[in-house]
Structure 1
Amino acid sequence: MNLSAAIPYYFQDDGVIPNHPRFPVLIYSGVFTDLDSDQVLSVFHRNRWLNSWINGVFDFHHYHSNVHEVLGVLSGYAELQIGGENGKLLEVKRGDVIVLPAGTGHKRLSSGSGFRVAGAYPEGMSYNLKTGKSDERPQVLEEIRNVPFPVKDPVYGDNGPMFQYWKLPD
């Protein structure tokens, strides 16, 4: 596992996709290039990010209002749109990790070479699936505010970069 600094991306509520009001999306580039899928899941599990799965990323804008999510790219590459229609296009590849705070929109625009990700959630919480429909508000905004703070960074545990960027209000 390679030590990687996090790259933060902040997104505002666009009226459809709420994104997170305080926490940025974090990208850890190339941290898992030498690990297979079982080893990636083992790192997530050791750091209490559970309820894991292996698949892809949906090709429509969606978010989870009740939980934070980590995605580890196991194979291939993809272009993801993060933050909603007016968000940022991010290219991810094998070995990259994306930490998505609750409410953050994400969508796969394109992918290749057998793109697969491992996903997991702090303490094994169950996730909901929201798509930005108007009837989801204001409930999702309240859910996002009430998501528990993770005990550990999904990759680095107790001292990960997540704790530099994700801060609880005083």
Structure 2
Amino acid sequence: MDDTLEALGLEIPDCLQFADDGAIPNSHLATLVFRAHRIPRSEGGDRERLAALFGARFAASGWPASWRGEVFDYHHYHSTAHEAFGVLSGWGLLRLGGEAGRDVEVRRGDVLVLPAGTGHCQRDASEDFLLLAAYPEDQPTLDLIGADPARHDAAVARIAEVSQPARDPLGGEMARWWPAPK
């Protein structure tokens, strides 16, 4: 199988919007879900090869890889950085947007981009579920905030200061998906 990103079918993402719920701010910017449409869902594949592919593309796009693992199983968000996940193996069911948000299933080869403030938690996953996480290179400090109304307003102020990257983690112009800051 050809594991280039183009061969995976990563082109136009699903763009999801989530409203501020008073505990999790979410974002006016869209959460992006790039689906790997051309990978047979039953095919396990070589996750190290996919990790190297994602790692190289993410880094070349200004989103260096940071860690591998799963998503925490409680609602949380980051107010100081945008976050990207490349799914290296398995599948995961993530709740995006906070408690009243939406469940989104991601599978091997998919890429998820969460704007700063977007709530997320893992609700279920296969035993082999593994992500590669990345953040824009000018956003090296990552905070972790749970669904807490008392921390909401200060987080909203920090989120407003987070820069918008020029490129998405796959190398496309971010302005295609997120309008330029005013």
TM-score, normalisation: structure 1: 0.91
Partner amino acid, structure 1, of 2:168: D
Partner of 1:54: 68
Partner amino acid, structure 1, of 2:83: E
Question: Aligned equivalents of 2:143 and 2:180: distance in 1?
Answer: 23
The answer as to whether partners of 1:78 and 1:110 remain within 8 angstroms in 2 is yes
Q: Cα distance, 1:151 vs. partner?
A: 2.1
Structure 1 position 166 matched with structure 2 position 173: no
Partner of 1:24: 30
Which among 89, 92, 107 is matched to residue 106 of structure 2?
92
The answer as to whether partners of 1:83 and 1:105 remain within 8 angstroms in 2 is yes
CA RMSD of aligned residues (A): 1.8
Structure 1 position 142 matched with structure 2 position 157: yes
The answer as to whether partners of 1:32 and 1:96 remain within 8 angstroms in 2 is no
1:20-67 Cα distance to aligned partner (Å, 9 max, x none): 1x2010000017957521221111111110251111111110100111
Gaps of at least 5 residues in structure 1 are none
Give the number of the structure whose alpha-carbon radius of gyration is greater: 2
Question: Aligned equivalents of 1:139 and 1:63: distance in 2?
Answer: 13
Percent identity for Structure 1 against Structure 2: 37
Question: Aligned equivalents of 1:31 and 1:148: distance in 2?
Answer: 30
Paired residues in the alignment total: 166
Question: Aligned equivalents of 1:28 and 1:45: distance in 2?
Answer: 17
Q: Cα distance, 1:128 vs. partner?
A: 0.5
Gaps of at least 5 residues in structure 2 are 40-44
Alignment of 1:1-170 (within 5 A): 1-2=5-6, 3-20=10-27, 22-30=28-36, 35-50=49-64, 52-123=66-137, 125-155=140-170, 157=171, 159-160=172-173, 162-170=174-182
TM-score, normalisation: structure 2: 0.85
